[in-house]
Amino acid sequence: MEGTHQMMGYDRASTMFSPDGRLLQVEYAKEAVKQGSPAIGVVCKDGVILVADKRIADKLVVAEAVEKIFQVDKHMGATATGYIMDGRILIERAQLIAQQHQITYSVPMDTVALVKEISDIKQSYTQYGGARPFGVSILFVGIDDERPVLYVTEPTGIFFEYKATALGEGSEAIKDLLQKEYSENMSMDDGIKLCVRALKAVLGKEFDARRIDGAYVDIKDKTYKVIDKKKFKV
């Protein structure tokens, strides 16, 4: 069936529905996310964490120069999986939107409101011709109303809130581990250890603390902070 759709040209534009109601370019974008380097988000009792693999294949690349996790606002962070250049553009847009909200209203922007804005941008690229969909999913974390939150935005423009989830290559295996071991009462230290175990399980011998990035937002001071790489050597 897929080959027939390709022969008929239904996959040539994101605005063209196939006879069975599919947007093939959008589905291809979701496949690009599945091939990206893994990223994990976990909501804990004392905050929310992001841990991601930078997948550095070339030993001559300076690992510290590769960004995988980004600060969006004082109380928000994000990481992208799929086409990272798409993710960088959207995260930079998110940073700008958050700054504009702070200047306009003199209060920090809620994470969910920002997620909706970015999801609207993604959705627009599935509806209008002349551009391809964003081939990236983004994990957003933050503190909303004294509560740590984790959201995923998909290439389709849809978004979901999670207690814990994973994106990218090996994400199904990671989700299986999260299903078994995640607890809403776990601390961020325990959450980091869980993320490291999950990445070790999917990366195997390729696991290296130097290629892992992490960040968290503490519920007490509501401030984005980078995780010390020493914690990834557990």
* Domain count of the fold of the chain: 1
C-alpha 87/C-alpha 105 separation (Å) is 27
Q: What does the pLDDT read at residue 129?
A: 74
**What does the pLDDT read at residue 188?**
96
CATH of the domain at 209: 3.60.20.10
Q: How far apart are CA 87 and CA 78, in angstroms?
A: 9
Measured distance CA(133)–CA(23) in Å, rounded: 10
Structural domain range at position 30? 2-233
Q: Per residue in 76-131, pLDDT tens?
A: 999 999 999 999 999 999 999 999 999 999 999 999 999 999 999 999 998 887 78
Q: What pLDDT was estimated at residue 193?
A: 95
Instruction: Give the pLDDT means over successive 10-residue stretches in the chain (234 positions).
Output: 58 78 86 93 97 85 85 97 94 98 96 98 88 94 96 96 96 96 96 95 88 94 93 77
